[in-house]
Amino acid sequence: MIHTYCIVYVLLLVPLTGATESGIVGGKVAKPHSRPYMASLQFEKKHSCGGILVREDFVLTVAHCRSDQIMTVVLGAHDVSKKEKTQQWIQVAKYFPHPNFTGGVDYDIMLLKLKKKAKLNKYVKAIGLPKKNGKTPAHIKCAVAGWGRTGHNEPSSNVLKENTEMLLFSHDCKRIWEKHFDSNHMICTKSDKKKGGICQGDSGGPLICNTKPQGLTAFTFQSDCSNSKYPHVFTKVNFFLPWIKKVMQDLGNVA
């Protein structure tokens, strides 16, 4: 038991600190611009993390995607390898990681204040947030989406891909991930080797349940993201709604 726990602990930290390239395993290519809230977070014109536009001047993602490099948010994209006419490239003005985030797995959430407001149209739209006390039942299928690697050591996909994953009960996740899983501000899904889903480093992309972003990709089992013994874990968005709204209200006009 101790031996297994140590392996999980070591591997758990790798995708949070060493890999942020996004990737969806299996699934299908998304219909172009069918998810107009999707954001590609890039460094030096290379996709690194995912995120969602929650207001014309704010993108929501996970805190471990932060870097000392200049981050650019690309909105309205389908193929991130091309300069599509629908794309809007906007630099990040300020990072707002959750104040309780210390580099581990807890409180892994961050708001990005854009240098200028996005122009909302049919290709770029903000997504509505879930209700504060809303509950999403287990065993419903939710959508995940992202750009990047399509598997371990596989080449990246330049076009947006999507897949579905099934929510699990929190006690199932707690039993497996032990102290790394906090049911108050995390939710999890069943990994499936045949159907695929998110993979290690698929950071900041959304988990969409009933049209609302219920989660942000946080971590998976590093050595095998489709290992059915280890659920995929997401930051629970509705837990952080008071903080999200406070940041956007209090700091939204900060230059």
Model pLDDT, residue 177: 84
Query: Which residue of the set 33, 47, 64, 78 is catalytic?
Result: 64
Query: Which residue of the set 22, 170, 203, 226 is catalytic?
Result: 203
pLDDT at 197 over 90: no
Q: What whole-number distance in Å separates Cα of residue 33 and Cα of residue 38? A: 9
Reported as a pLDDT band with limits 50, 70 and 90, residue 68 is confident
Reported as a pLDDT band with limits 50, 70 and 90, residue 96 is very high
User: Is beta strand 196-198 parallel, antiparallel or unpaired with respect to 71-75?
Assistant: unpaired
| Residue ranges per structural domain of the chain | 2-28+129-239, 36-126+240-250
Topology, domain 2-28+129-239: Thrombin, subunit H (2.40.10)
**What DSSP string runs through the chain?**
-HHHHHHHHHHHHHHHHT-----EEESEEPPTTS-TTEEEEEETTEEEEEEEEEETTEEEE-GGG--SSPEEEEES-SBTTS--TT-EEEEEEEEEE-TT--SSSTT--EEEEESS----SSSS-PPPPPPTT----TT-EEEEEEEEESSTTPPEEEEEEEEEEEE--HHHHHHHHGGG--TTTEEEEE--TTTEEE-TT--S-EEEETTEEEEEEEE--TT-TT-TTS-EEEEETGGGHHHHHHHHHHSTT--
Residue with the larger pLDDT of the pair 126 and 174: 126
Question: Under CATH, which number does the domain 36-126+240-250 receive?
Answer: 2.40.10.10
Q: What whole-number distance in Å separates Cα of residue 65 and Cα of residue 42? A: 10
Model pLDDT, residue 195: 58
The arithmetic mean of pLDDT across residues 148-172, rounded, is: 76
pLDDT at 9 over 80: no
**Cα distances (angstroms) measured from residue 239 to each of 5, 158, 236, 244:** 27, 32, 6, 10
User: Taking the model in full, what pTM does it have?
Assistant: 0.85
Range with lowest mean pLDDT among 22-36, 44-58, 78-92, 146-160:
146-160
Model pLDDT for residues 198-254, shown as the tens digit of each residue: 664 468 999 999 899 999 988 876 656 666 677 888 999 999 999 999 999 986 554
Reported as a pLDDT band with limits 50, 70 and 90, residue 32 is very high
Is residue 139 among the annotated active site residues? no
Is residue 64 among the annotated active site residues? yes
Model pLDDT, residue 154: 59
Query: Which residue of the set 33, 47, 48, 108 is catalytic?
Result: 108
The arithmetic mean of pLDDT across residues 97-115, rounded, is: 94
**2-28+129-239 and 36-126+240-250, same CATH topology:** yes
Taking a C-beta distance cutoff of 8 angstroms, is the pair 84, 180 a contact? no
Average pLDDT, the chain: 81
pLDDT at 44 over 70: yes
Reported as a pLDDT band with limits 50, 70 and 90, residue 31 is very high
Is residue 108 among the annotated active site residues? yes
